[in-house]
Chain A
Amino acid sequence: MTAQEVRLCGLLLREHFGEVVEKVGTQLLRSGAQNLRTIIHETGLSVDLVKKSLMVLVQHGACLFSSGRKGPGSPTEYRSGCDRILRILRYPRYIYTAKTLYGDTGELIIEELLQRGHMTMSGTVKTVADRLTQNMEEGRSMDYSEVSSAFSKLVETHFLQRCPPLAGAGTADSTNPAPGATPATPSTPAAPPTPESFPDCYKVPHMTLVGRGKRQLTAEDGEDQRNAKRQKMDPEAHGDEGIYWQVNFERFHLHFRDQAIISAVANKLDQTSSEIVRTMLRMSEVTTSPAATCTKPLSANEIFRSLPASYNIPRPILDQYLTLLVDDPMEFVGKAGESGGGMYVVNLHRALANLARATLESVVQERFGSRSARIFRLLLRKRHLEQKQVEDFAMIPAKEAKDMLYTLLSQNLVQLQEIPKTPDYAPSRTFYLYTVNQLPTARMLLQNCYKTVANLIERRLFESKESKRLLEKSQRIEAILASLQASGAEPEQLTEVEEMITAPEKQQLDGLRLHINKLDSAENQVDETIFRLESDVNSTATS
């Protein structure tokens, strides 16, 4: 929970949930597990606001609560983690992936679940069907069964999972027995049970939900809206009360990791090799655990049979491709045996480490130039080198090599290792070797990325605040235009309203829009780097 992470989480909470939730959230992140009274006291907010904020955080899975440390009678404690809040950066990527895999229906399901935290299946299906109906032509509407089938497909492939039922929430839940959960004895405050420890995690409930999406009429007065609200509040039991679904981020991360490996192979070798690797990863989707170092061994015969029909490469060519992949220095694919025509595995952790290393190298190259990048790569491969050896191996003149090495050293990308000849560490009798440690350097760059995104968000907020008056004016004019158009106005009135914004103001607005788009897009792309570095750091930490 570094300072940069806390700052970034605070900004993300502020953008999406408001400043009140930001205050409560940062208080929880900074000071660990606390009970309600402490939070109220430290933040200085009113009891009501703190309670609502905590509910919002729990709803979205950002905050966990458990009974206190001192035993069953002590007040409940709330704790929060940075990881879940940092996922908010990646929401657009999750939604886009769902769109590519499952179409518009899947996209809307994931979007609704991300916005609401967790929902029941029936609630999600109804809302998504209504939204889809809204965008379809007049007279057509979306059937609930189509949305339900898309939902079931998402659950089958583990992109959605049930929320874990809580042990100490006050009501005894016997509907979902949980053999892996700790019962109500809080003697050992163990880690909260993961959703995967429940056997029903991926079971779709039997649900009676028949109907079609309703097209929402644009309500002119508030009264119509209230009538619509009353209709929605009719309690219809669909047979799945109490079962809430949430998005399974880990599954999405596995998908992103696979995509990264496939695109890396395509860039380094060629399209056919990437197809082979894609086939291998697809075959081992269900058999590989998320934290595995490499996939289960697959025989060349199986791979040959499972290749997509459009790629009819003959068997010997496939063997040649596999040999090439194994011999490649990036070590994406390894050979695990000779039976069945050769057993091959995809080395997941090594692939992630190589991807992170490539990221580090490219960072050095873009910041300090290609010769410094050459020194950096040299040190990564040769581990420890003396000053003289660096100059010789890199084939760079001594003075420039010294300069570059010291720049890298001052930026902490390169470390100095002392090897004494005598026990008193006398400088004249000590070897000084330069070295690069990949893991600490990756961690440092990860923190830099968090700081970058936080700076981008702050700059965007600053730009919006500067032109707040102008933005509000344009919003008002758009709203007036929309209402005029809805009530059928003449073109002259519309142009008159449009001319309320002068030309230089329009220019300023366009420039502002361009800046904000650039900053937003930059946030998305820094998040890709964050994902690569994070997955490498996490995989090295667990292995």
Chain B
Amino acid sequence: MAGKGRGVAAFTFNIEALGIGRGSMPEARVGPSPLFPSTDFKPVPLKAGEDEDYMLALKQEMRGTMQQLPHNIKPQSNKSEVERYTERYLKKSQIEDEDWTPDWNLFPKELMPQTKKPRAKAGTKKKPVKISRKETEAMLSKLDALAKNDDRNPEKSDDETEKKPGNEEEEEVEAEEYDEEDIEEVSLQIRT
């Protein structure tokens, strides 16, 4: 800190080149700049005329309409069992066509909602999956049998395969509960 005390306000360059003098430095900052600084000049008032009024009306109408359309997806809300009296009047103003049947040619197949059929298939699918898993594990266990005892390995593979059907059943149960909840709270029905 050689410059401390003697040249504490010394700059490394010739200050005259920038055209500012030693005395015209702005005050040092004491903190972050204010969030809403005061402005010297007030903003110009908005344009007002027929066109602007019409576009304003269009904008508000469009916003209202788009919130009623089926495109507007509402997060799942718990419907109260007793319909409130006030809501009865609000319901009448909603748009009639709540269903939206899109043309599936334009969307990728994976976006189609799953119907109930795959659930039956999942049961039949499990077995080939299990079999293939069992097969691969049987192969592995056979390979292991060369190095280890024969008694321990079949028990090991049985334990593992028992755990997996247990997990799959849990997942299956969760998926079922999940889908039932979906069907109950529907704001958008998609018919295939």
Contact of A518 among B11, B46, B73, B106 (CB under 8 A): B46
Chain A residues with CB below 8 A from B44, complex form: 366
A521 to B90, CA, bound (A): 27
Contact of B71 among A17, A96, A523 (CB under 8 A): A17
A116 to B69, CA, bound (A): 9
**Interface set, chain A 238-292, CB cutoff 8 A to B:** 242, 244
**Interface set, chain A 486-543, CB cutoff 8 A to B:** 517-518, 520-525
Chain B interface size range = 35 or more
B6 interface contact, C-beta 8 A: no
Q: B74 near A17 (CB under 8 angstroms)?
A: no
Contact of A369 among B41, B89, B190 (CB under 8 A): B41
Q: A517 near B97 (CB under 8 angstroms)?
A: no
Contact of A387 among B12, B19, B51, B188 (CB under 8 A): B19
Q: B106 near A16 (CB under 8 angstroms)?
A: no
Chain A residues with CB below 8 A from B96, complex form: 219, 225, 228-229
Q: A480 near B89 (CB under 8 angstroms)?
A: yes
B86 interface contact, C-beta 8 A: yes
Majority SS at the chain A contact face: helix
A297-320 CB contact bits vs B (8 Å, 1 = yes)?
000000000000000000000000
Q: B90 near A479 (CB under 8 angstroms)?
A: yes
B106-145 CB contact bits vs A (8 Å, 1 = yes)?
1111110100000000000000000000000000000000
Chain A interface size range = 35 or more
**Which candidate, B55-63, B151-159, B162-170, is the interface stretch facing chain A?**
B55-63
Measured between C-beta atoms, what is the minimum distance from A50 to chain B in Å? 9
The residue in chain B whose Cβ has the minimal distance to the Cβ of A52 is B73
A476 to B90, CA, bound (A): 7
Measured between C-beta atoms, what is the minimum distance from B178 to chain A in Å? 7
**Given A96-B54, A521-B52, A242-B105 contact (CB < 8 Å):** yes
Measured between C-beta atoms, what is the minimum distance from B24 to chain A in Å? 7
A388 to B17, CA, bound (A): 10
Chain A residues with CB below 8 A from B51, complex form: 96
Measured between C-beta atoms, what is the minimum distance from B88 to chain A in Å? 9
Measured between C-beta atoms, what is the minimum distance from A317 to chain B in Å? 32
Contact of A59 among B12, B13, B60, B102 (CB under 8 A): B102
**Given A16-B63, A244-B106, A402-B19, A53-B73 contact (CB < 8 Å):** yes
A33-54 CB contact bits vs B (8 Å, 1 = yes)?
0001000000000101101111
**Given A52-B188, A96-B51, A366-B41, A76-B63 contact (CB < 8 Å):** no
Q: A17 near B73 (CB under 8 angstroms)?
A: yes
Q: A55 near B92 (CB under 8 angstroms)?
A: no
**Interface set, chain A 26-78, CB cutoff 8 A to B:** 36, 46, 48-49, 51-56, 58-60, 65, 75-76
Q: B108 near A169 (CB under 8 angstroms)?
A: yes
Measured between C-beta atoms, what is the minimum distance from B83 to chain A in Å? 13
**Interface set, chain B 63-115, CB cutoff 8 A to A:** 63, 65-67, 69, 71-76, 86, 89-90, 92-93, 96-97, 99, 102-103, 105-111, 113
18 intermolecular pairs with C-beta atoms under 8 Å apart: A16-B72, A51-B111, A52-B188, A52-B190, A91-B58, A96-B51, A115-B69, A116-B69, A168-B108, A170-B105, A367-B41, A387-B18, A426-B13, A427-B11, A427-B12, A428-B17, A432-B17, A524-B56
What are the 10 tightest A-B residue pairs by CB atom distance, in nearest-first order?
A: A427-B13, A428-B14, A387-B19, A479-B89, A92-B58, A92-B55, A92-B59, A20-B73, A18-B72, A16-B66
